Amino acid sequence: MSGAHIVGGGPAYPGKEALATGLRLETPRLLLRQFTEADLDALAAMYADPEAMRYLGDGRTATRAETWRAIAGMLGHWLLRGYGMWAVVEKQTGAMIGRVGFIDPEGWPGFELGWVIAGSHRGRGYAPEAATAALHYARQALRRERVISLIRPANAASIRVAEKIGQTHQGALTLFEQEALVYATP
């Protein structure tokens, strides 16, 4: 190499330690951990499911390549912000069954807690269990008092989850050219 050499240091990213240590949360039935490339198959299957994606973002499914980029984006969010999405793993089986965590990119309406559980694992109380753990982390470790969840009006299941974790309906806004209800911690 002509004159190039490796230097130490680099930017002080807020989430560098969280990524390096693999920050994890545990509940009685779930492990919330950083995403890895090994999660691609399970997450790609979930992101290809129209029912799972119906209320997320613009509502369209994602290809395997788009899902890989989504994992990279989630890990980048951790690095840049110091928080982000966790993979939700069922302890009993070791299966990656969803995602839960925080999103707050540039221009976002607020510090959001979001969740999605794969279809075959819905209806077992995993979403409120994971969301409760994440909300506790937001309050205790991140010192966040106001945490929002943006929910499509037809998404009755997520509205129930928001209410179970103590969020209340506080208005509406337009997100991806569609109405989203704002649920938030008091």
118: domain CATH number is: 3.40.630.30
> To 5 degrees, how large is the angle CA 57–CA 30–CA 141?
75
The amino acid that residue 106 corresponds to is: E
pLDDT digits (tens, 9 = 90+) for 40-73: 999 999 999 999 999 998 899 999 999 999 999 9
Is residue 14 one of the residues assigned to a domain?
Answer: no
Q: Which pLDDT score, from 0 to 100, does residue 2 have?
A: 59
Is residue 8 one of the residues assigned to a domain?
Answer: no
Is residue 65 one of the residues assigned to a domain?
Answer: yes
Is residue 38 one of the residues assigned to a domain?
Answer: yes
Q: Which pLDDT score, from 0 to 100, does residue 18 have?
A: 80
Tally of residues, the chain: 186
Band of pLDDT at residue 121, cut at 50, 70 and 90: very high
pLDDT digits (tens, 9 = 90+) for 76-95: 999 999 999 999 999 999 99
| CB half-sphere exposure, 73, CA atoms < 13 A | 10
The helix/strand count (H/E) of the chain reads as 6, 8
Band of pLDDT at residue 172, cut at 50, 70 and 90: very high
Is residue 2 one of the residues assigned to a domain?
Answer: no
Quote the domain boundaries for residue 174.
19-184
What's the pTM? 0.91
Domain count for the chain, please give it: 1
Band of pLDDT at residue 13, cut at 50, 70 and 90: confident
Using CA atoms, how far residue 4 sits from 1, 7, 117, in Å, is 6, 10, 47
Give the mean pLDDT of the chain. 93
Is residue 96 one of the residues assigned to a domain?
Answer: yes
Name the token pair of 104: 């707050």
